[in-house]
Structure 1
Amino acid sequence: MFKKFIVATDLSPASYAMTECLKGLQDFEATDCLLLQCLSFAHAAATAYSYQTESLEELMDAQKKNLEQQGFTVETRIVVGSPKQEINRIAAKEQYDLIVLGTQGQSLAEEKILGGVAFGVLNKSQKPVLVVPVEKSGENSACTPFGSCGFGEHILFATDFSEMADNAFSELQKLITKAVKKITLVHVQDKIKIEQHLKDRLEEFNEHDRSRLAHLKRLLLKNAPTLQVHSEVCYGIPHEEICRSVQENGATMVVMGTQGRGFVREFFLGSVSHSVVRNSLVPVLLIPMPE
């Protein structure tokens, strides 16, 4: 499903740690990787006249070796331009199946890749984006990926039953392989929307949505009878409940839909998906709506 994928690196210790933990992507047919570093025009001009050119190449080679040791065929590329534009442009033009980003990384140009860059990629991407959180426990401590590197061992799928979520569920069905042992289906009743005028109907909503989750469970089991599928209807702040469920259920990856391409209206899995990315302790796979 994700045969060709881009790893967007800022060559930081955090992104180095991220490249050590992508072997699990092979469970989703990933084989060919483009390790991509995007330099701003100002940074590229400064690098051209300094010792950093050699340093960039050395750091890139180290990350390339990480990926090759995990069994991927790796091409490296350094491009100049706006990272959020170049990453998406290359992914679309060259027909990559997935973009992988790391959180908390800081580039040599002192830009956090999960700042304007990563959310710029998420907002505009026509391709699925996997965001991998990386932990740094102290100022001089080593960076390590959060959680398990076996992305598909236990997938948590969050849905609001919208067209956007239905599209993501279709992609989830394609993700199911022998490596996927368990899926937790989660729907959150939005406390803010319900509490003022609809709380007396909460149990009615819960019953209806449990039925809809049961339907999704039957669809999953139809093609994967041995899959463990658990469903959960929660009440609260959506992104908080999703992150709580991740921790309590021991999920190794979250899958959600996202509108993408700069869409700004407040859909549940538009703004909420970005809040989950900011707070999740495990990788989050965001599936955009098709053109």
Structure 2
Amino acid sequence: MAMINLQRLGYVTAIAEEGSYAAAATRLGLSQPALSRSIQGLEEEYGIRLFDRGRAGAQLTADGAAFVGIAGRLLNQADTANEQLMALSAGGGSLVAFGLGPVSAAAILPRLLPALLSTGARLRIRVEALNTLQQLLRQGEIDFFISGLPVRDRLSRLPDDFRVRRIPLTSVNLLVRPGHPLLAGDCEPDDLRRYPIAAGSFLRELLPSARLAQLGVAPPIVELDDYATLSALARQSEFIVVAVRGLADVRPDLGLVPLPVDLAVNEVEYGFVSASFNDLSAEARQIATMILDQLASQMGRAKPPPGIPFSNK
């Protein structure tokens, strides 16, 4: 079989995005017959049909959809490799692209970023919710991500070609502004229900609404993966912010204090996740180790256990 032609993979993704051969040909600067011949060649080479063509345009077949997913990942990896090569030719550091969950980023980035920059690597950092981080990893846009994960096994949702290491770190806490009415005395479940709740998207993964009701906590009416903004909201109102235990200690600048309430929630775990189809570079391994060490230090837990799956070797 011939070597993979990235240009032709780009043709397939362009048709999928534009929805028709004509629109894709215009975008690519090709004639429509030339584009059709290129796609026919791919279909013959791999023995599959990529598109069904009709009045509605070009619709991906089931095989075509799978093909586009693989092609998109390869094209993103090629773009990243090209950036790394350009950086080397310019004398710059290697590119390390990684993702962090919003809580992880809020807890560690302000202190850790200067140390990461001292490695000489160029950094591309994405702060996103878990679902988006998974997508970015599958597409090859990041080398790895570190994010909070619920203890209840939700990792079955992660693709089989992900390497995952779960790291127990902390539990859930409720944060309010100094002077909040709930700080004036004993806080009972009925008291909690009288105040609005704000949280990041991790709460949906961790605790369903029925479980929140059992704990005496109302479902969030504000969901936002930006803890600086959530903290500003809580400082100016009577909102309760749901976060991981320890965030207020490591980020006193957020201006919130924990409520003396035990939600009886099992530990929240962090996950180190990389892709089995992409071994990490030495620079990426160094960056990942620094992040994990900082998380463990700031959250008051022991250093993460050995065996972080950096590669297939």
> How does the TM-score come out when normalised to structure 1?
0.24
Q: Rg bigger for which structure?
A: 2
> How does the TM-score come out when normalised to structure 2?
0.23
